[in-house]
Structure 1
Amino acid sequence: MQRHNRFLVAVLSVLSIIISLGLPGTALADPGGPGTEVKAAGYSAVIRRTAYGIPHVLAANLGSVTFGQGYAYAEDRFCDLMDMVIKVRGERAKYLGPGPDDIHVATDFGYRALGIRERAEAQNAALSAEERQLLDGYVAGFNAYLAATGAANIPGYCAGASWIQPISAVDVLTYQRSVALFASGDALVLPVALASPPGAAALAKGPATAAATAGGLERFSGTSSEGSNAWAIGADRSSTGKGMLVGNPHFPWQGELRFWESHLRVPGQLDVYGAGLGGLPGIQIGFTEKVAWSHTIAAGSRFTFYTVDLVPGDPTSYYVDGVPEQMTEKNVTIAVNTGGGATTQVSRTMYSTRYGNVLDLSAQSPALGWSAETALTYRDANIDNDRMLRQWFNIARAADTAGIRAALGSDQGIPWVNIIAADRNGNAFYADPSQTPALSPASLAEWAATGGFLNGSTSTNAWVPIPGARSPGLIPFAQQPQLTRRDYVFNANDSHWVPHASQFLVGYSPLQGPEGTPLTPRSRQNLRLINSTAKWTVAGLGTAILSGNTFTSDESTAATVAACRARGNTPVVVDGVSVNVTQGCNALAGWDKKFDLASKGAVLWRETVFSVIDQYPNALYEAGPLFGVPFNPADPGNTPRGAPANTQPLLEGLARAMIRMRTLGWAYDVRLDAVQYTVKKNEKIPVPGTTEELGIANVVEYTPVPGSSLEPVLDAGARLPNTGSDLTRKGYVINTGTSFLLTMGWTSSGAVDAKALLTFGESGNPNSPHFSDQTKLFSQKKLRECRFTEASILTDPALKVKTVSG
């Protein structure tokens, strides 16, 4: 009876909250229409935080619900967005000085040269009434937290910073545009800043700028740590006959690219739960009572490089079809802090071609610098993408996967990700709607033959306008890869061509992604996991994604043990050192072939595989050192696989791994939790999983460049030189990988059943209880309930309610 009474009181409380907020009298028009203006003079929202600090924002209109979201985000991660605002304004040098190797000077010039703030100003002036509400509410909420807290009391790494200040709608749009350029212009900011014609004064190039440039270019090479798994399970493979979803982005645990979880509810208009990159209004990965969706980074190209032939004696003029064309000049002036509160003005002239900004990639190859004969430039598919704000709100209001498909086709605002979605009706949907250049067949052939470079001195390589595209020169959504099934679809960052083990999507532009090429071991493992169960449950989805199994260990460990047992005490000679591999063989024989905390032998196998890859860089994708069955384009999810015919490379890898572990003082059968961990407020927390090279769904890794944030990066220790390994005397320190893990579906009666985990915690404040609470859950491989219904929210024993207004 007492429990019933508490529930009744809770329900009455929420009813009074809704009544006090006022139900909306009219529905808002679609984006682009006249819309409904916010009637109130200010904003009002109720923030209900449940266990682990998850904010459920309740408000009477869209402006107020994003006001509450902006306020709640500022409570948790104020520094991240404030830092990014200063960065994309091009004002880091103004507050922080030139930085190591003048890196703040370089990034300030780079962002200003891209011109994204000018584009944001134009976008801000043309917003629909609904977009205006969404954006202004978010900004007002963020600023309301600052006003209530005071700059001196802001928690986190920016505490007391001189650059803490209110932000504007243009600031948020500018940052959103930099996120849109994540796989293109944002990664090329330093090459843009460093570009100067021969003979002109150039910016300094040093280790700091080189490291930041390399970190950006990893996004194009496929070696970036960012990635994802996503599954949509349809009615035929669901135990309830309804749809199910796994969303498992692998993103940094530090810096501005951390996900943040929230729940937004406007009665009668919006009810969406999920997560998104911090500082962006709305939900980017999540679910409603009818549909759920996730994203994975798409494998295609979001831009094209062009080389242009320069006019002799005039390095800022270039030829197009034999006719000289003057580059566009942009004079940029920034302020640089010289200490003691003083600043000095520094000016540069930046250059662009008809395609876009000129680049200096001479650090990667001298041929990619700016010489007297040629210059390198590029055209960006996302530079004019002004649809992101509306895109995700329209997805959140879809009634099913067909509604998501319609929203994608209408807005065409998805910047660089695939979408994987499931609905209550049991449909599973995949698409790659990312912004992709449209080229002629001849240009595509040239692009492929040159490794991604086009001759910009001929107009025949210009992008091709196609009716229906968001902008001229892009591939319209109707011509992009997409598929709906009733069993499942998936993606794990390989291209569109294998969304299902037996149905391939082919015939698309190579800029959309490669076709007929081997999948990563992680994609192969995803397919193995998906097809390991005939009928899925939500609980089973979480267990599968967090399983410690890897593709390489299942395929090749037994062969390694058999080979070294057959060898007996005959040593393996590597790098002039004789190694008796018997003890290592015993460690692998006793291993459970998993990367769980208690696994003994996991570290040795990881080092063995990395040693093989160091000697044979393509070992994961072809028969030979690791696998025996070669790649078969008719069976990409299951090849290459099997034990190799020649096990000598594996034995040599094992020997090198043993030498390395002995050098660092680790036993061959050391438990994984003794070596692999993250650090939260000086506390070591063991972390399950491993790197994607091993072929695991639950990826955890270390990256020295988790973003462009000013937040201090965890020190992983110095790697051993010339080994291909990332094992250090500190072990495996983790700061990226499984980040927001969502598993959800609908019960047979149609009710939402969702569980999630934000591995690094909701708060960026080390003094918050929500800084590491979910990291400890992750250590135990436990997901928590997503409290979606009012009854679930209001009966949470940890519930804390706050009304905010402005």
Structure 2
Amino acid sequence: MIKKILLAVIALLTSIYIGFWATAPRSVDPAQYQILADKYDVHIVRDKYAVPHIFGTRDIDAAFGLGYAHAEDDFATMQDVLLVTRGKLATLHGVDAAKTDYLVHFMDVWNVVDAGYESRINQQTRDHAEAYADGVNFYASEKPDNIAVGLLPVTGKDIIAGFTFKTPLFYGFDQVVAAVVEGRYGTGLDKLAHLHVTDSPQPDIGSQGIAIAPSRSDDGHTRLLVNSHQPLTGPVAWYEARVKTDEGWDMVGSTFPGSPVILHGHGPTLGWASTVNKPDLVDVYQLTINPNNGDQYLLDGEWRDFEVKDAAIDVTFWGPIRWTFHEAIYRSVHGPVFKTEKGAFALRWAGMDEMRTLEEMLAMNKARTQADFEAALSMTASPSINYVYADKDGNIAHYYNAMMPKRPEGDKFSAIDWQGLVAGDRSDLIWQGYYPFERMPRTVNPPSGLVYNANNTPYRSSIGEGQPKPKDYESSMGIQTNMTNRALRIEALFGADKAISREDLHRYKYDNRYAEGSVVDLVLKRLLAMSFEPDSELQAGQELLQNWDLGSDAESRVAALGVMTGSPFVMAVMRDEPEPDLVDVFQNALTLLQDHFGRIDPKWGEVNRLVRGDKSWPLSGAPDVLRAVYGVFDEEAGHQQATAGDSYIMFVEWSPDGILTSHSIHNFGSATLDATSNHYDDQAPIFASEKERRLPLDMVKLMAEKTSDKIIGGDLNLEHE
């Protein structure tokens, strides 16, 4: 597909055929959406850091306000997200975005949404999505410049489709697609590349959530850490907001562009942290094609016809010049099919026909008890994501949430390798439906008073009794069994602490060390056991690392060499890639440090920087430590720039009498794109210093520190505030 597009571009550059040129359709006039304000009544108060606190009588008022406020701060990214969801990103960003548009067609996103929008999700969810879309449209009516052709109007279907398309990408569906397209699936090389959704940095496999019950805290408080690791900018970077309505929607936390709910955070009585999980949620079936008819495949001894649809992908080249490419998409009873030089492969994945994810997330946002929260999860409408939960009554839990395919069990199927290539000529191997929520691994109120997840196995989610056991789950579920460095450090730090204080939790969260037995620890031991030429740079580096404590503190003069040597091995494990050559990595790290800093032992904070515009701050932290920092070395700037990892961090606690306090910090600030705003980087130095701010959840305190105050609509009753 991509090769065909590139060849077509070459043809464009050399062709003089006048009929090739086309003019892009004109966009609608944004001014017509001014009247949308008459449908809603919303009050948006921005606090000291310009974080929006959005109040409405109805949930849809706040949804409208959330769409509007987020568009104020990050409209360009939101526009990209919406165009991605429609399979129209190439109309704005050209041929490089065509692969993403094709993936939307391949996943059949819009047929799923169109078929079920009126029947499969409830009216409340549709109204919520449409109100959020109206907020974006209303913003566009006020700021009509730089709106992409064809973007308006944004609709509720756009918002629903965003969940259908994006949620499978968090468990790695796009990686499987890339492996199949490139002929690598089933060869042992199927994790060597990623099919990126955009050119923005993709989420690294990271995040952690920790919940502490009153029995484990030093003062009877319930404590929750919300600490997801995401890219610092782009379509899946965190945006902080608060919403509160008379209808019971009361949440503060963070969300993504195009998401009309808080994706993790807390309400007055409960909260949760989200982390990525990766059970086996995708199956690849190898099909047998009829040698006499390429449009047929073999199933149960008979030739079946493929369903064939046309994917029309519009690509803009220069200004208004656009061309539509056409690509056939084949579909078997298993799912959509790729035909490659290695054969024909059908894909079947968790969430391939799911459009109710927003409905489940909205129910989570409005939950007030653990029973409410579990009832929301029991919809089984979210393809994956762990939840670490806590509430004011002292309940804590880890839910290994996923739409787990119900693959056939029994002796007849015991030899099937569901994580490899599955025979496509047997209908009994085509799974139907998912296991219910009750069958998912979970740890609820364990005796230890501690639950956690750091992208590790659910079988180690606490310490001691009360954790799920592998024998209780079908092997075909493909439940992960890994332990990350962060998980090992959580166990080491929290394991012996029987009375965890607020200060303890804060200190443990910002721990920046690698554990004994971790990937980096093992790499270091291998390196120290090697022999290098006397008085060589390699030997000097080896002698320096003999004194490394496996920490990544900004002041350390050993961490730079240690982290830069160990990080490639950490990333290889996280991405299931072959490990690099140790001596080559070590030499490259030594050379880079010597060339850019004039020494092999600069302070780690001189190398590792949080960069925003023309400012930068030193950072502690490294890949797969609890103070997670993933970066890219900028040769021109001469230092490493943080691109992902710790981004939005929240500490929540409920006292024994139910009093709630909440502290949070964002990696940059609320003004996502406006470099002239004070709020473009006002949280960055606080973030770099490993501190947070107390959220003004009380209306009096909020109004005392507000930076702006806007009412949209004319009949808002402010008593609810």
| TM-score grouping bracket, smaller chain normalisation | 0.7 to 0.9
Cα pair distance change 1:482/1:340, threshold 3 Å: closer
Secondary structure of the 1:773 match is: coil
How far residue 429 of structure 1 moved from its aligned partner, in angstroms, is: 0.8
Secondary structure of the 1:250 match is: strand
Q: In terms of mean alpha carbon deviation, does 541-550 or 66-75 score higher?
A: 541-550
Partner of 2:165: 178
- Which one of the candidate residues 713, 718, 721 is aligned to 1:805? 713
- Which one of the candidate residues 733, 738, 741 is aligned to 2:641? 733
- 1:45 lines up with 2:7 in the alignment: no
- 1:255 lines up with 2:234 in the alignment: yes
Separation of aligned partners in 1, 2:507 and 2:242: 24
Separation of aligned partners in 1, 2:355 and 2:277: 19
How far residue 747 of structure 1 moved from its aligned partner, in angstroms, is: 1.8
How far residue 67 of structure 1 moved from its aligned partner, in angstroms, is: 0.8
Separation of aligned partners in 1, 2:708 and 2:355: 36
How far residue 287 of structure 1 moved from its aligned partner, in angstroms, is: 0.8
Percent of paired sites with the same residue: 21
TM-score normalised according to structure 2 size: 0.82
Q: Give the partner amino acid of 2:129.
A: L
- Which one of the candidate residues 476, 495, 498 is aligned to 2:436? 476
Cα pair distance change 1:245/1:613, threshold 3 Å: closer
How far residue 147 of structure 1 moved from its aligned partner, in angstroms, is: 0.9
Partner of 2:697: 788
Secondary structure of the 1:125 match is: coil
Partner of 1:4: none
Partner of 1:306: 285
TM-score normalised according to structure 1 size: 0.74
Separation of aligned partners in 2, 1:42 and 1:547: 49
Separation of aligned partners in 2, 1:618 and 1:193: 21
- Which one of the candidate residues 543, 566, 580 is aligned to 1:609? 566
Cα pair distance change 1:161/1:46, threshold 3 Å: same
Separation of aligned partners in 2, 1:749 and 1:124: 43
How far residue 587 of structure 1 moved from its aligned partner, in angstroms, is: 6.6
Separation of aligned partners in 2, 1:82 and 1:684: 28
Cα pair distance change 1:339/1:588, threshold 3 Å: same
User: 1:400 touches 1:423 (CA, 8 Å); kept in 2?
Assistant: yes
Cα pair distance change 1:304/1:427, threshold 3 Å: same
Instruction: Trace 1:494-573 onto structure 2 (pairs within 5 A).
Output: 494-503=456-465, 504-505=467-468, 506=470, 507-510=472-475, 512-514=477-479, 517-552=481-516, 572-573=531-532
Separation of aligned partners in 2, 1:354 and 1:619: 33
Per-residue displacement from partner, 1:383-441 (whole Å, max 9, x unpaired)? 222222121221222233233112211x2222210111011111111111211111123
Separation of aligned partners in 2, 1:580 and 1:740: 38
Separation of aligned partners in 1, 2:574 and 2:151: 49
Separation of aligned partners in 2, 1:488 and 1:293: 14
Instruction: Trace 1:30-109 onto structure 2 (pairs within 5 A).
Output: 42-97=39-94, 99=95, 103-109=96-102
Q: Give the partner amino acid of 2:696.
A: R
Partner of 2:15: none
What value does the CA root-mean-square deviation take over the aligned residues? 3.7
User: 1:612 touches 1:653 (CA, 8 Å); kept in 2?
Assistant: no
Q: Give the partner amino acid of 2:608.
A: Q
Cα pair distance change 1:559/1:117, threshold 3 Å: closer
- 1:768 lines up with 2:709 in the alignment: no
Separation of aligned partners in 1, 2:329 and 2:586: 52
Partner of 1:677: 609
Cα pair distance change 1:405/1:587, threshold 3 Å: same
Q: Give the partner amino acid of 1:44.
A: D
Cα pair distance change 1:337/1:215, threshold 3 Å: closer
Any unmatched runs of 5+ in structure 2? Answer: 1-35, 184-190, 715-721
- Which one of the candidate residues 380, 386, 389 is aligned to 1:418? 386
How far residue 762 of structure 1 moved from its aligned partner, in angstroms, is: 2.0
- Which one of the candidate residues 490, 496, 511 is aligned to 2:452? 490
- Which one of the candidate residues 113, 134, 140 is aligned to 1:140? 134
- Which one of the candidate residues 621, 628, 631 is aligned to 1:699? 628
Separation of aligned partners in 1, 2:100 and 2:234: 17
Per-residue displacement from partner, 1:771-799 (whole Å, max 9, x unpaired)? 2222221111111112223233233x244
How far residue 483 of structure 1 moved from its aligned partner, in angstroms, is: 1.9
- 1:113 lines up with 2:106 in the alignment: yes
Secondary structure of the 1:735 match is: strand
Per-residue displacement from partner, 1:11-30 (whole Å, max 9, x unpaired)? xxxxxxxxxxxxxxxxxxxx
Separation of aligned partners in 2, 1:484 and 1:47: 37
Aligned length: 659
Secondary structure of the 1:422 match is: strand
How far residue 279 of structure 1 moved from its aligned partner, in angstroms, is: 1.4
Secondary structure of the 1:432 match is: strand
User: 1:588 touches 1:601 (CA, 8 Å); kept in 2?
Assistant: no
- 1:394 lines up with 2:363 in the alignment: yes
- Which one of the candidate residues 350, 373, 380 is aligned to 2:329? 350
Partner of 2:7: none
Per-residue displacement from partner, 1:179-221 (whole Å, max 9, x unpaired)? 222246862697599699xxxxxxxxxxxxx99844479xxxx
User: 1:690 touches 1:699 (CA, 8 Å); kept in 2?
Assistant: yes
Per-residue displacement from partner, 1:259-308 (whole Å, max 9, x unpaired)? 11111111352211111222101111011121111111112022211111
How far residue 74 of structure 1 moved from its aligned partner, in angstroms, is: 0.6
Q: Give the partner amino acid of 1:605.
A: G
- Which one of the candidate residues 633, 645, 653 is aligned to 1:745? 653
